[in-house]
Amino acid sequence: MQHLILLASLFSLSTASSDWCYPSQFSCTHQCKTPESWSQANSGCGGRAQSPINVVTRKALVDERLGPFTFHNYQQTFHSTIKNNGHSVQVSVNHLATVQGGELVTGYKAVQFHLHWGKDGGPGSEHTIDGEQYPMELHIVHMKKEYTDLSAALKDPNGVAVLGFFYEESRSANKKYDNIINAVQKITAPNSNTSLASISLDQLIPARQNLTTYYRYKGSLTTPGCTESVVWTLFEHTIPLSKEQLQVFSKLRFPNGEPMVGNFRPLQPLNGRMVYRSDAGALLASALLLMASVSVTLGLSQRR
Ligand SMILES: [Zn+2]
């Protein structure tokens, strides 16, 4: 019996410690841990290589090795579930889609993607570029191909690669997001989910030729446990969404019933870390080389 009581109290302790939230969620009746207190229950959040950060572009070091990425199966359509997980909107990627190149030491496979946003299309990205906060930020979370689950990848200092994309308000709606926007309207209730039919990762992000300019640094997950095992890539080219499309995300609800807005972590100190920038000029040359090598490869494979 005493064991049971001990277990029960341990359980309540662990649920209490996972009760983290964003400032927009905090209320007198719901006293959750806001970002400045995350490190109390998750020591990782107090580390020295945390995310997100502000990127100061004139201080970013050009690294010629930051070449173009190779994406596999990003064009493949898949069926999945989109859920309101209480902190964000998340979609699991259930087919093998990988990213390689761009100084990623090995291939990384996509696990899930989710978003961070502001209120009604106002500032809401996690990372900022020269102090500019965009209305929303997409995180496509990948792990090294050798791992089967994220928890194993998080034990490797380079186990996770997140591709981050910024959104910008456009005059016209982005039709490629119709599926997602419609689905989001069905999951305004916390912990609800709905099916998401035929989407591809490609339809979410800018065209390949616009993915050659990006920033790279070593950081962490931006939610508890804030594990410092993330190779971050932030793309310069933005994704357009209309104001109406951006506003749909503010209709979602946190578990306490408050509107799910401002679900971004405050900026974290660099603590001497370097931010690297791909060199677009060199990238153009290497893109041409890549095209040449692709055509050679295609020629070879056709002969087989
Ligand atoms: Zn995120």
CA of 113 to the centre of ligand 1 (A): 8
Distance CA 302, CA 304 (A): 5
Alpha carbon distance, N-terminus to C-terminus of the chain? 69
Query: Residue 284's pLDDT is what?
Result: 56
CA of 219 to the centre of ligand 1 (A): 12
User: Is 39 within 8 Å of 45 (Cβ atoms)?
Assistant: yes
Query: Residue 129's pLDDT is what?
Result: 98
79 counts as catalytic:
no
Query: Residue 215's pLDDT is what?
Result: 98
What's the predicted TM-score (pTM) here?
0.87
CA of 230 to the centre of ligand 1 (A): 11
CATH architecture classification, 48-290: Roll (3.10)
CA of 114 to the centre of ligand 1 (A): 6
Query: Residue 296's pLDDT is what?
Result: 64
Q: What is the 3-state secondary structure (H, E, C) of 150-198?
A: HHHHCCCCCCEEEEEEEEEEECCCCHHHHHHHHHHCCCCCCCCEEEEEE
**Which DSSP symbol is given to 102?**
T
CA of 59 to the centre of ligand 1 (A): 24
Query: Residue 286's pLDDT is what?
Result: 57
CA of 137 to the centre of ligand 1 (A): 8
User: Is 165 within 8 Å of 235 (Cβ atoms)?
Assistant: yes
Catalytic residue among 30, 79, 87, 142: 87
Query: Residue 289's pLDDT is what?
Result: 65
Across the chain, which has 304 residues, the per-10-residue mean pLDDT values are 46 53 83 92 96 97 95 96 97 95 93 98 98 98 96 97 98 97 97 94 97 97 98 98 98 95 98 92 58 65 48
CA of 227 to the centre of ligand 1 (A): 12
